[in-house]
Structure 1
Amino acid sequence: MASTAPSLRWRVIDIVTAAILGVACGLIFAAWNPVGGAAFDVLGKVLPGLSGLATGIWLLGGTLGGYVIRKPGAAFFVELMAATVSMALGSQWAVETIYSGLAEGLGAEVVFALVAYRRFNAT
């Protein structure tokens, strides 16, 4: 009898998909960096804490990677790849972008690990 449980081992297609998602998210981050940085400052002056609305886009890589690939390390890898691409394209935060990517990827990875990379379907 074949097991219906999904494999948590990485396949070549998983690695390629993660790399493509990471680069795509990195391009989105690079475009958002000047806009998000300015919005963060403006929203923070309007109401402290409101500036967090501008930071949500930077969590896209880990969330998307973990959701699409559903393998251990996927969220971390995609977020770190996106941060690296964003930094390489000239982020105003330079190497701090990598540190943020590490933290954001690790945070997303912990959440996916807590639910054991399960799929929550309606059926």
Structure 2
Amino acid sequence: MVDYALRFLIGGLVVSLFAVVGDVLRPLRPKSFAGLFGAAPSVALATLGLAFSKHGGDYVAIEGRSMILGSIALAAYSFVVCQLLIRAEWSALKATLAALAVWLVAAIGLKQFLIG
């Protein structure tokens, strides 16, 4: 229970920090990057920090690699959803359900191919 509270607090602090950085850099960055600093993976960073303190660097390396592979699978899923919504004009429910298969194949395929 304490781990969840720490993740919540650390994640909230990191999100707040990135939001402040985003506001300070607002005049310097284009609108396309509007949510970049506010959408930082703060909970993942908090989780990795806690995992490092409990389990060490080897465990965190595996967790970090898994997060990277998961983000690649999510990018593939997001791309397919966008294509189905815009080009095929599917409903949101139909597009997201169909793209789940892409996410699953990408996630399992990346794990098998890169990790073994």
The normalised TM-score by structure 2 is 0.34
The normalised TM-score by structure 1 is 0.33
Relative contact order higher in (CA < 8 Å, ≥ 6 apart)? 1
Between structure 1 and structure 2, the one with the greater Rg is 2
More helix per residue: 1 or 2? Answer: 2
